[in-house]
Amino acid sequence: MRHSYINFFNNKSEESGVIKSDIDFSSVAGLDEIKEELLEISDFLDKPEKYKNFGAKIPSGVLLYGPPGTGKTLIAKALAGQCKATFIYASGSEFIEKFVGIGASRIRALFEKARKKAPAIIFIDELDAIGVSRNTDNNSERDQTLNQFLIELDGFSDNSGVVVMGATNRIDMLDKALLRPGRFDRHIFVGNPSAITRREILKYHIKNKPIAKNFKIDSVVEKTNGLSGAHLANIVNESALLAIRKGKKTINNEDFDKAIIKTTAGLKNKSMVLSNKEKRIVSFHEAGHTLISFLLNGILPDKVTIVPYGVSLGFVLSSFGEDKMILTKNELEDKICILLAGRASEEIIFGEISTGAQNDILKANELAYSMVCDYGMSKYKNKIFPGDKNNFLKEDIEHEISNILDNAYEKAIGLLNENSNVLNLIAKTLYKKEDLNASDLEKIFHMALI
Ligand code: ADP
Ligand code: ZN
């Protein structure tokens, strides 16, 4: 009998269908934290009884999110190999059809197959294609598909030995229903690799290639900030082709330099690869956010990075306070202060400011505006100014907004100056390592404070 859903899907993607994964985690360079988190899942699949006996539910859905080419598919496939589970690959776009009901029936078939082949990992690439937020358009085929998908996810409470993994680079577009507990409730960010990870990925891909004796890997690492694992694999391949074309016996740095130029020239957003000067600015900028956020909240961010992602050149990822329903006036002022701390740090260190803070400034302005106009937190006490502000108070309102912003900025400058040794240490370490997690930061604070 033919596999019914190799039939179903192979018209759109060659990779679709049931695959016996022939790789394990040794094929994924770096990304140790992600591997560790996923190994727990491998244990669920391996010994479901252990969890059943404790009445513990295994996580049914794991969402890998981040830019393309960062190894999300690779990790999922390697995990399947690692725990000897069947790997079932599908792309979200395969479920989007013109005719109502077809997508839904494909989803049903997919899960049916997985249950039969358990232990199994279903990996759905481009999850956003099925999981895009409803209400954005009225598309009953898509709604049916998504509903069927939710039903299948909910049917997993019986420890069926199936884990669903999804990948997307648009987590913000996903329907909230998908992210609820019991569905895709584990979210793992897979970002562009830091310097250390880039080095490991490069090492992995040059492993079986003839490399010149005087090859300097660090020079390649330095020139590839902002590029993904897929870019790096491509660069290694290009440099090999260049060396072959020239009739050489080994690949050297010159070949790599050319391959980097070739690869980055084709990128839509060339600015993603930062120069060293830009890297210095972004390091101090992010260090500013991090330090002020720690000083005001006492909480270390989960992650700080200067590896570009999307339109942002660097960012601080903090789960703290994100889901708060109400904020006090003080908390709002602190938020504004943290937002402005990136620019404040640039001003202190470089004596000038940059466009890198554009998004922070926008958000800070919006918050200050809301404080005055929506929340009644200005000198007008509980008076709010909804709608059109083109009235005789306009200037006064703007003055109030400016006051809030100025005070927050001054506070940031003051705190950063008082703690300039920590600021410097964070920025320097960030420049070198490109990614810092909470425990790295803890060490830095510890070092700077003794
Ligand atoms: P995504 O699913 O995130 O778009 P893929 O998993 O398809 O990315 O990765 C594309 C290719 O990039 C991989 O097949 C591999 O060659 C390379 N790659 C990405 N990350 C790594 C890594 N951590 N180690 C080794 N190779 C990697
Ligand atoms: Zn910023």
- CATH number at 212 reads 1.10.8.60
Q: How far is the CA of 20 from the centre of ligand 1 (A)?
A: 18
On whether both 173 and 48 belong to a single domain, the answer is yes
pLDDT of 395:
81
Q: How far is the CA of 315 from the centre of ligand 2 (A)?
A: 7
Checking if the pLDDT of 131 tops 50, the result is: yes
Checking if the pLDDT of 32 tops 60, the result is: yes
What gap in Å lies between CA 220 and CA 198, rounded to an integer?
9
What gap in Å lies between CA 67 and CA 135, rounded to an integer?
25
Decide whether any atom of ligand 1 lies within 6 Å of the 373 Cβ. Answer: no
User: Domain for residue 6, yes or no?
Assistant: no
Residues with CB under 5 A from ligand 2 (ion): 342, 360
Q: Kindly state the average pLDDT of the residues 418-435.
A: 94
Decide whether any atom of ligand 1 lies within 6 Å of the 78 Cβ. Answer: no
Residue nearest to atom 15 of ligand 1 (CA): 230
Identify which ligand lies nearest to the alpha carbon of 360: 2
Look-up: residue for tokens 């000198």?
A: 379
User: Domain for residue 380, yes or no?
Assistant: yes
User: Domain for residue 4, yes or no?
Assistant: no
Q: How far is the CA of 168 from the centre of ligand 2 (A)?
A: 24
pLDDT of 343:
97
Decide whether any atom of ligand 1 lies within 6 Å of the 31 Cβ. Answer: yes
pLDDT of 75:
96
What is the domain-level CATH number for residue 101? 3.40.50.300
If you average pLDDT over each of 41-50, 101-110, 259-268, 386-395, which comes out highest?
A: 101-110
Identify which ligand lies nearest to the alpha carbon of 79: 1
**Domain's final residue, options 163, 189, 215:** 189
On whether both 416 and 332 belong to a single domain, the answer is yes
Which of the pair, 97 or 286, is modelled with greater confidence? Answer: 286
Identify which ligand lies nearest to the alpha carbon of 74: 1
pLDDT of 46:
76
Using left for φ > 0, alpha for ψ between -120 and 50, and beta otherwise, residue 101 falls in: left
Q: Is 65 helix (H, G, I), strand (E, B) or coil?
A: strand
On whether both 33 and 172 belong to a single domain, the answer is yes
Mutate to test the pocket of ligand 1, among 74, 188, 192 (most ligand atoms within 8 A of CB): 74
User: Domain for residue 199, yes or no?
Assistant: yes
User: pLDDT category, 11, cuts 50, 70, 90?
Assistant: very low
pTM of the model: 0.76
Q: How far is the CA of 69 from the centre of ligand 2 (A)?
A: 25
Q: Kindly state the average pLDDT of the residues 77-103.
A: 86
Task: Summarize pLDDT for 317-339 with one digit per residue, the tens.
Answer: 765 555 667 889 999 999 999 99
Neighbours of 299 (CB within 10 A): 13
On whether both 348 and 437 belong to a single domain, the answer is yes
On whether both 442 and 347 belong to a single domain, the answer is yes
Q: Which of 254-268, 272-286, 307-321, 373-387 has the lowest mean pLDDT?
A: 307-321
Which of the pair, 317 or 360, is modelled with greater confidence? Answer: 360
User: Domain for residue 13, yes or no?
Assistant: no
Percent of the chain with pLDDT over 70: 86
CA of residue 74 relative to chain centroid, distance: 16
Task: Summarize pLDDT for 273-312 with one digit per residue, the tens.
Answer: 778 888 999 999 999 999 999 999 888 888 898 987 655 6
Decide whether any atom of ligand 1 lies within 6 Å of the 204 Cβ. Answer: yes
**88-97 core/surface letters (b: 16 or more CB in 10 A; e: else):** bbbbbebbbb
Using left for φ > 0, alpha for ψ between -120 and 50, and beta otherwise, residue 75 falls in: alpha
pLDDT of 3:
31
On whether both 119 and 164 belong to a single domain, the answer is yes
pLDDT of 325:
77
Checking if the pLDDT of 259 tops 50, the result is: yes
Q: Give the number of domains in the chain.
A: 3
User: Domain for residue 207, yes or no?
Assistant: yes
User: Domain for residue 2, yes or no?
Assistant: no
pLDDT of 171:
87
If you average pLDDT over each of 8-12, 219-223, 340-344, 443-447, which comes out highest?
A: 340-344
Mean pLDDT of the chain: 85
What is the domain-level CATH number for residue 369? 1.20.58.760
Q: How far is the CA of 141 from the centre of ligand 1 (A)?
A: 32
User: Domain for residue 332, yes or no?
Assistant: yes
Q: Which of 35-39, 42-46, 332-336, 348-352 has the lowest mean pLDDT?
A: 42-46
The closest alpha carbon to 393, from 382, 385, 401, belongs to 385
Identify which ligand lies nearest to the alpha carbon of 228: 1
On whether both 431 and 283 belong to a single domain, the answer is yes
On whether both 259 and 289 belong to a single domain, the answer is no
User: pLDDT category, 12, cuts 50, 70, 90?
Assistant: very low
On whether both 225 and 301 belong to a single domain, the answer is no
**Domain's final residue, options 241, 265, 289:** 265
What is the residue range of 260's domain? 195-265
Any long-range contacts for 400-405 (C-beta under 8 Å, 24+ apart)? 400/372, 401/365, 401/368, 401/369, 401/371, 401/372, 404/333, 404/336, 404/368, 404/371, 404/372, 405/336, 405/340, 405/364, 405/365, 405/368
On whether both 291 and 218 belong to a single domain, the answer is no
On whether both 286 and 408 belong to a single domain, the answer is yes
Checking if the pLDDT of 9 tops 60, the result is: no
Mutate to test the pocket of ligand 1, among 13, 33, 34, 70 (most ligand atoms within 8 A of CB): 70
Decide whether any atom of ligand 1 lies within 6 Å of the 73 Cβ. Answer: yes
Known catalytic residue: 286? yes
Decide whether any atom of ligand 1 lies within 6 Å of the 167 Cβ. Answer: yes
User: pLDDT category, 136, cuts 50, 70, 90?
Assistant: low
Q: Which of 92-101, 128-137, 273-282, 293-302 has the lowest mean pLDDT?
A: 128-137
**Nearest ligand 1 atom to alpha carbon 75:** 6
Q: Residues 278, 286, 333, 400: which is the catalytic one?
A: 286
On whether both 311 and 403 belong to a single domain, the answer is yes
